[in-house]
Amino acid sequence: MSRSISIPLTLIFVGLCVLPACVRKLEDQPCPCTGGWTCCVSQNRCLPADVPNSCPGDDPTPVVLPEICTTDGWCGARAPLTNVWGTADDDIWVVVGLVGGVSSASPMHFDGTAWSPMTLSLSPDQETFAPAAIWGTGSSDVFLAGSDGIAHYNGSTWKWQDSEKQFEEHSWAALGGTTPTDVWAVGASFSVDLSVPGSPFTGLVGHYDGTQWVSQLIPNIPLSPDDSTLQLTSVWAASATDAWTVGVGGTILRWDGSQWNARPALIDGAPVTQNLLGVWGSGEKDVWVVGRGATLLHFDGSAWSRPNIDTDLLGGLGATGALRAVWGTGPRDVWFAGDGGVLIHWDGNRWSAAPTATAQPLNALWKSPRGDVWAVGGDATAVHGLGGNWIATPPAPLEGLPVTAIRANSENDIWVAGSGLVRHWDGQSWLACDAQDSWRFERIQIMGPNDALLVGSGVGMKEYAIAGGACQVTGSGSGTSMDMHDIWANAPNDIWAVGAQGTVQHFDGASWSDVAVPTTADVVAVWGSPTDVLGEPIYVWALTGGDTAIRWDQTSWTVISGLTGLGTIRPGVSWNLITGTGPTDTWVFGKEFLSADLQTFVPISRHWNGTAWSRGTPDDEAFGTVEDSWAGDWLAGKSVFRLGELGWAAESTGEWGQLVGIANAGSVVWVLGQDGVLMHRPFP
pLDDT digits (tens, 9 = 90+) for 446-497: 999 999 999 999 999 999 999 988 999 998 889 999 999 999 999 899 999 9
Report which of residues 35 and 491 the model is more confident about: 491
Average pLDDT on 306-325 reads 87
Bridge partners for 37 per DSSP: 48
pLDDT band of residue 24 (cuts 50, 70, 90) is very low
Is the pLDDT at 302 greater than 80? The verdict is yes
User: Alpha-carbon distance 464 to 446, whole Å?
Assistant: 10
Q: What is the DSSP letter of 54?
A: S
Distances in Å between the Cα of 555 and the Cα atoms of 153, 536, 647 are 66, 12, 32
Distances in Å between the Cα of 670 and the Cα atoms of 72, 152, 465, 512 are 14, 34, 21, 30
Determine the pLDDT at residue 19.
33
- Give ∠ CA 338-340-343 in degrees, rounded to 5: 50
Report which of residues 385 and 332 the model is more confident about: 332
Query: pLDDT tens-digit profile of 100-122?
Result: 444 445 688 988 888 888 877 76
Q: What is the CA radius of gyration of the chain?
A: 31
pLDDT band of residue 560 (cuts 50, 70, 90) is confident
pLDDT band of residue 200 (cuts 50, 70, 90) is low
User: Alpha-carbon distance 80 to 471, whole Å?
Assistant: 34
**What is the three-class DSSP state of 284?**
coil
The dihedral through the CA atoms of 287, 288, 292, 294 has a sign that is positive
- Give ∠ CA 542-658-626 in degrees, rounded to 5: 25
Burial bucket for residue 458 (CB in 10 Å: 0-12, 13-18, 19+): middle
Q: Which of 285, 193, 183, 299 is nearest to 236 (CA)?
A: 183
Determine the pLDDT at residue 72.
73
High-pLDDT (> 90) share of the chain, %:
42
User: Alpha-carbon distance 398 to 73, whole Å?
Assistant: 21
Q: What is the DSSP letter of 75?
A: B
SS (H, E, C) 560-573: EECCCCCCCCCCEE
User: Alpha-carbon distance 452 to 407, whole Å?
Assistant: 9
Burial bucket for residue 319 (CB in 10 Å: 0-12, 13-18, 19+): exposed
Walk me through the domains of the chain, giving residue ranges and CATH numbers.
Answer: 9-58 (no CATH), 403-682 (2.130.10.10)
Chain centroid to CA 588: how far? 30
Query: pLDDT tens-digit profile of 46-94?
Result: 655 554 445 554 454 445 667 777 767 788 877 788 999 999 888 999 9
Burial bucket for residue 224 (CB in 10 Å: 0-12, 13-18, 19+): exposed
